[in-house]
Amino acid sequence: MHTELPLFPTQASAMSTQVDALYFYLVAVSAFFSLLIAVLVIVFAIRYRRRSHDEVPESIHGSLTLELLWTIIPFLITLTFFAWGARIYFRMNRPPNDAMQIYVVGKQWMWKIQHLDGVREINELHVPVGQSVRLTMTSEDVIHSFFIPAFRMKRDVVPGRYSTAWFRATKPGDFHIFCSQYCGTKHSGMIGTVHVMEPPAFEAWLSGGSGSESLASSGAKLFVQHACNTCHRSDSLARGPNLEGLFGKPVRLQNGQTVVADEQYIRESILMPQAKLVEGFQPIMPTFQGLISEEGLLELVAYIKSLSPPPGAAPASAPNTIGPAVKTSSPEREAPK
Amino acid sequence: MAAAEYIEPVASPPRENYLNVKYGVKSWLLTRDHKRIALLYLASITFFFFLGGLFALLIRLELLTPAGDLVQAETYNKLFTMHGLVMIFFFLIPSIPAVLGNFLIPMMIGAKDLAFPRLNLLSWYIYVVGALFTLWAVVHGGVDTGWTFYTPYSTASSNGHVIATAVGVFITGFSSILTGLNFIVTIHTMRAPGLTWFRLPLFVWSHYATSLIMVLGTPVLAVTIFMVAVERIFRLGIFDPALGGDPILFQHLFWFYSHPAVYIMILPAMGVISEIVSTFSRKSIFGYKFVAFASVAIAVLGFLVWGHHMFVSGQSVYAGLIFSVLSFFVAIPSAVKVFNWTATMYRGSISWRTPMLYAFGFIGLFTIGGLTGLFLATLGVDVHVHDTYFIIAHFHYIMVGGAIMGYLGGMHYWWPKISGKLYPEGLAKFAALVIFVGFNLTFFPQFILGYMGMPRRYHAYPPEFQVLNVMSTAGASILGIGYILPMAYFIWSMRYGRNAPANPWGATGLEWQTPSPPPTENFIVPPVVDRDPYIYSPEVETIG
Amino acid sequence: MADARGAGVVHAADGPRELQHHFDSMAQQKDASSLGMWLFLVTEILFFGGLFTAYTIYRWMYSAGFADASRHMDVRLGTINTAVLICSSLTMAMAVHSAARGRRRPLMGFLAATMVLGAAFLGIKAREYAEHIENHLFPGAGFHYAGPHGRPAELFFSLYFAMTGLHALHMIVGFGLLTVLLVQARKGRYGTGWSTPVEMTGLYWHFVDIVWIFLFPLLYLIGRHAH
């Protein structure tokens, strides 16, 4: 039997100290009120113990002052929980702009992880210490949940949509990844390890990845393979919207609405092209549901993202030719940013 | 309308009561007497309590070691699913309302029966039919979706008997709807002359609030489960993203019922505790109206907080904020109740009989359960503890430490009325102590495990969690013994116990003003009420 | 309703034969019945409410697909059925009225008329179902839908069959209740002093009609306004 008895999880991310501070505040308040009630119950029970069978204590019907006090004071205390908790929650939901992108696909019962430069891992995640990491996640089958206790990070991974989470590891070491949403027989086997490494060690590990090509270039290949380029092009023959510079921009739809072309929108437009039709185009695109895997979709997303270089950055992404980029037969491998 | 058999005058032989008025299986299975129906429920839910307990025992044994070595992963998943389903739908939801509520509400309001006696019997039969479907599923290999039936796992992936179980839960839901409907109508239309709303015992108030939830929430669960079953049978895509559906919609619909369902389980226990604390302190409940309205407030607010089960599911941040703040609102009336119970004891005349021991336990454990609920309403902390053992510990503090303590306290308190016999006091106090110790040893370590990050529904776990799991399993075995004791001495007391007087505790409710056990028509002379509840007079306790 | 028992406490054995033993007066018994029925209808609203919620969300997600699928509905039959149901509500109301006045023959006539209209509704609905199934519009393995809106259309038809199917089930239950009423009315059980079952069935029947009044535009007419 294992006899070590750890009572508190490691703090290994920037968020963990913030969550723990709030947790300790909650523990302190809870301990205070639990003890208060327990002590009062015990003291009353002993002090006012029934001494004769016919005693009838004086009746006290209540006190409005007390009722108001023990309604308002707890209420104000809970508002502090709310405000503090909400602040942290906002931070959890706002990945920093400089975050490194990693893609995660959950399936029964494993985690498939893709780095931008094409390195793939299963049930393991290597990240550099001190660098914010943004995870874009989806599932191939049922709902999973990506949970790293040491980072106080958890997010459901839902089929049919992308969910995002982020963390910044602050401590090198190996920590658990759990699936925390019940997903079937080997739910408890859907675990992994996150390896937090010093940046040089991480670079070394990354470049040791066996000559795989970047996600964006795999996406570019898929783009040609599925003949997307016959319609989505920048010249006059285009029958579909031009995808250059599209990512992150607002798109005007046929029904007059405007949506932002994010990862979710691109995914949906591949699988359900008619759902949000761009203004000025015919509903001629067939669905690719069932034809492209979740990982393939992520590659296409990465490719389309690469057609819109982040503002200020050099237009370095994916296929070097801008234009009907799909002609590029062998895109070069790029360094991770 | 052939009610002739009931019209026999009951007053003539003084010893005739609802138990001995007729004998034979038929007189029970076709009874329309709410007291006999309550006993039918008592027998059925006791069976399910021990069945659910058996599943729990196997779960705890598996978790004694980190490796999944006692049962297969698939079996383990079925065990926790069946444990949850049986305990929630077939024990906790019917427990206090269908047994104690059924038995006591007509007596507490001075009525001869519930408004719809045949519907009441029908409710029990519906419960039994639902239970049989579920038992069929258990016997034929079980189901492994978790009691939450999350889609698309339940509709597209699981290979257990999802449909049979869903049908069972669906059917049982109607039993709960009809019970709630019956209670509401009874409380509205059948109160004794002079029994105004603010003269009602708090037990009745809490059951009124519970019934509102049963009537308003259960149909939504029913239709949700219906959609799951239909989707699975016809391979539709209502909740399956692969077919265009939205799995999160299921979670919204499911928790719209299932969060209020938590209050179906705890509110009746709060009603029991109000009665016990008043009787054994011999004092009127401190802040009666606040306690009464707190029940209704919990029932209403309970419908507005379901989204706090979905803080990590991807709902919008702003929805998260709203559900978080509303969840704090619903905590306030619960806190008000705890403070009022405690204040009721101040300068009371406090008797340490078994029901009061359970009330002490309830107040302490419910306080811890409620306060840890605040952790889950706090957005930033919930993200970490969601779906871990922290949740398991929290809701077992509410459901076992709260609801079951309340149920057992109530069973001891009203046992003399129900059976006409006294239970053995010394043994009962010992059992209450065993249950309290066993409970805390079982579930307190799970708070720590949860914050450490151990996810729920894990068949095998990393070794560093073992020591706490061993403590939990040890506690569970103590708890198991604690639960067998009351069943044993209750049964023993039916034959060998001392006869109970009409009002053994010197309590004030109308139910204590009729013989123990009561006659079929409840009262020999229909009562008329002319004063507030909980006014104690210097009568002595009738048992020494 | 607070003190429905009132002062005149009558022993059950002395009351009218419809008075059940545990009530003190007919007024109290009737209060209980109507409150019970209204509560039951509230549960029914919530039951259908879950389906309406699902419908609303998917209609919002796939508005074009739902409009497209809705064009496969036979608006003519839907309109006829709506008219049939409204008429049946009228005859039901007349039946309740006749019962309260103690008019046995008109009561039987109106009950029978309501049943005929209910049966007509179910017959027309069955014909529509048959057509849909013939056109491979029943969701599941055999579903086939031309055009780009296959998946949303399948969702539409899933909800269509679930909602109208449950509604039809309620109609069938109502038909059963009417049958019982007709038999009892023939025996002369309902009169000026006692017509609660007719009234309660009336409430139920109107409720089922109202559900249809919501279903009809949501399922049949959404594709129309665009063209």
Identify which of B112, B219, B224 has the shortest CB distance to residue C22. B112
Please report the pLDDT score of residue B375 as a whole number.
96
Please report the pLDDT score of residue A321 as a whole number.
36
CB contact under 8 A, B193 and C58: no
Q: In chain C, count H helices and then E strands.
A: 6, 0
Q: Is the pLDDT of residue B492 over 90?
A: yes
DSSP B52-107: HHHHHHHHHHHTTSSS--SS-HHHHHHHHHHHHHIIIIIIIHHIIIIIIIHHHHHH
Please report the pLDDT score of residue A310 as a whole number.
64
Q: Give the model's confidence band at B238: pLDDT under 50 very low, under 70 low, under 90 confident, else very high.
A: confident
Query: Is the minimum CB–CB distance between B241 and chain C shorter than 8 Å?
Result: no
Please report the pLDDT score of residue A158 as a whole number.
94
Q: Is C123 helix (H, G, I), strand (E, B) or coil?
A: helix
Please report the pLDDT score of residue B542 as a whole number.
54
Interface list for chain A against chain C, based on CB atoms closer than 8 Å: 255, 272-275, 277, 283, 287, 289
Query: Is the minimum CB–CB distance between C62 and chain A shorter than 8 Å?
Result: yes
- Please work out, in degrees rounded to the nearest 5, the angle formed at the alpha carbon of residue B162 by the alpha carbons of B159 and B164: 130
DSSP conformational letter for B253? H
> Do residues B218 and B172 touch, judged by C-beta distance below 8 A?
no
CB contact under 8 A, B332 and A26: no
- Please work out, in degrees rounded to the nearest 5, the angle formed at the alpha carbon of residue A133 by the alpha carbons of A130 and A139: 150
State which H helix or E strand residue A174 sits in.
strand A173-179
DSSP conformational letter for C148? T
Interaxial angle between packed helices B425-452 and B405-419, expressed in degrees from 0 to 180 and rounded to the nearest 10: 160
- Measured between beta carbons, which residues in chain A are less than 8 angstroms from residue B372? 30
Residue of C nearest to B106 (CA): C22
Output the six-digit token pair for C79.
């309109």
Say which range, A216-220, B47-51, B76-80, B493-497, has the weakest mean pLDDT: A216-220
Q: Is A50 helix (H, G, I), strand (E, B) or coil?
A: coil
Q: Is the pLDDT of residue A149 over 90?
A: yes
Please report the pLDDT score of residue B541 as a whole number.
52
Q: Is A133 helix (H, G, I), strand (E, B) or coil?
A: strand
Chain C nearest-CA distance from B74, in A, is 29
Say which range, A116-120, B74-78, B287-291, C205-209, has the weakest mean pLDDT: A116-120
For chain C, the first-to-last Cα distance in angstroms comes to 53
Please report the pLDDT score of residue C10 as a whole number.
40
Q: Is A135 helix (H, G, I), strand (E, B) or coil?
A: strand
| Matching residue, tokens 């009558």 | C10
Query: Is the minimum CB–CB distance between C12 and chain B shorter than 8 Å?
Result: yes
Residue B131 Cα distances to A33, B79, B167, B211, B263, angstroms: 41, 17, 10, 21, 22
Query: Is the minimum CB–CB distance between B243 and chain C shorter than 8 Å?
Result: yes
CB contact under 8 A, A283 and C63: no
C115-125 burial, b for 16+ CB within 10 Å, e for fewer? bebbbbbbebb
CB contact under 8 A, C62 and B222: no
Query: Is the minimum CB–CB distance between C155 and chain B shorter than 8 Å?
Result: yes
The pLDDT profile of chain C, 227 residues, written as one tens digit per residue, is: 334 443 334 444 455 677 888 888 888 888 899 999 999 999 999 999 989 999 998 888 888 888 888 888 889 999 999 999 999 999 999 999 999 888 889 999 999 999 999 999 999 999 999 999 988 888 877 788 877 777 888 889 989 999 999 999 999 999 999 999 999 998 888 888 788 899 999 999 999 999 999 999 999 988 765 44
CB contact under 8 A, A283 and C65: no
Output the six-digit token pair for A204.
């070394």
Q: Is the pLDDT of residue A316 over 70?
A: no
Q: Whole-angstrom Cα distance, residue A180 to residue B387?
A: 6
Q: The pTM is what?
A: 0.90
CB contact under 8 A, A86 and B379: yes
**What burial class does residue A173 get, using C-beta atoms within 10 Å of its C-beta: 0-12 exposed, 13-18 middle, 19+ buried?**
middle
Q: Is the pLDDT of residue A329 over 80?
A: no
- Measured between beta carbons, which residues in chain B are less than 8 angstroms from residue C142? none
Please report the pLDDT score of residue C225 as a whole number.
58
Residue of A nearest to B290 (CA): A67
Output the six-digit token pair for A129.
């210490």
Please report the pLDDT score of residue B311 as a whole number.
93
- Single-letter code of the amino acid located at B365: L
CB-based contacts of A190: which residues, under 8 Å, 6+ apart? A106, A108, A109, A110, A111, A144, A178, A179, A183
Q: Whole-angstrom Cα distance, residue B196 to residue B188?
A: 10
Please report the pLDDT score of residue A144 as a whole number.
96
- Please work out, in degrees rounded to the nearest 5, the angle formed at the alpha carbon of residue C35 by the alpha carbons of C31 and C38: 145
Cα maximum dimension of chain B: 71
Sign of CA dihedral B460, B461, B465, B468: negative
Which alpha helices (H) appear in B201-287, and where do they start and end? 202-234, 247-281
Q: Is the pLDDT of residue B7 over 70?
A: no
3-class secondary structure per residue, A255-292: CCCEEECCHHHHHHHHHCCCCCCECCCCCCCCCCCCCC
Say which range, B156-170, B316-330, B497-511, C147-161, has the weakest mean pLDDT: C147-161
3-class secondary structure per residue, B333-399: HHHHHHHHHHHHHCCCCECCCHHHHHHHHHHHHHHHHHHHHHHHHCHHHHHHHCCEHHHHHHHHHHH
Q: Is the pLDDT of residue B6 over 60?
A: no
Average pLDDT over residues B298-325: 92
The CB-side HSE value for B324 (13 A sphere, CA atoms) comes to: 31
**What burial class does residue B392 get, using C-beta atoms within 10 Å of its C-beta: 0-12 exposed, 13-18 middle, 19+ buried?**
buried
For chain A, the first-to-last Cα distance in angstroms comes to 46
Q: Whole-angstrom Cα distance, residue C183 to residue C30?
A: 22
CB contact under 8 A, B237 and C18: no
A166: phi then psi, degrees, rounded to nearest 5: -150, 160
Query: Is the minimum CB–CB distance between B8 and chain C shorter than 8 Å?
Result: no
A11: phi then psi, degrees, rounded to nearest 5: -100, 110
Query: How many Cβ atoms are within 10 Å of B196's Cβ, its own excluded?
Result: 11
Q: Is A157 helix (H, G, I), strand (E, B) or coil?
A: strand
Q: Whole-angstrom Cα distance, residue B486 to residue B433?
A: 12
Interaxial angle between packed helices B405-419 and B247-281, expressed in degrees from 0 to 180 and rounded to the nearest 10: 50
Q: Is the pLDDT of residue B86 over 60?
A: yes
Query: Is the minimum CB–CB distance between C86 and chain B shorter than 8 Å?
Result: no
> Do residues B373 and B394 touch, judged by C-beta distance below 8 A?
yes
Q: Is C96 helix (H, G, I), strand (E, B) or coil?
A: helix
Q: Whole-angstrom Cα distance, residue B204 to residue B207?
A: 5
CB contact under 8 A, C151 and A272: yes
Q: Is the pLDDT of residue A236 over 90?
A: no
Q: Give the model's confidence band at A311: pLDDT under 50 very low, under 70 low, under 90 confident, else very high.
A: low
Please report the pLDDT score of residue A226 as a whole number.
87
Please report the pLDDT score of residue C8 as a whole number.
39
Chain C nearest-CA distance from B237, in A, is 6
Average pLDDT, chain A: 86
CB contact under 8 A, A272 and C63: no
Question: Which of A130, A263, A139 shows the shortest CA–CA distance to A196?
Answer: A130
Q: Which of C43, C167, C180 to mutate to test the interface with B (most CBs of B within 10 A)?
A: C43
Q: Is the pLDDT of residue B12 over 60?
A: no
Question: Which of A165, A109, A189 shows the shortest CA–CA distance to A142?
Answer: A109
Strands A124-128 and A192-197: parallel
Question: Which of B173, B50, B164, B184 shows the shortest CA–CA distance to B115?
Answer: B184
Query: How many Cβ atoms are within 10 Å of A166's Cβ, its own excluded?
Result: 25
- Measured between beta carbons, which residues in chain C are less than 8 angstroms from residue A272? 151
pLDDT in tens, A255-305: 778 888 888 888 888 888 877 888 888 878 888 888 888 888 888 888 888
Higher-confidence position of A78 and A282: A78
Sign of CA dihedral B467, B468, B469, B472: positive
Please report the pLDDT score of residue A330 as a whole number.
37
Question: Which of B392, B364, B291 shows the shortest CA–CA distance to A33?
Answer: B364
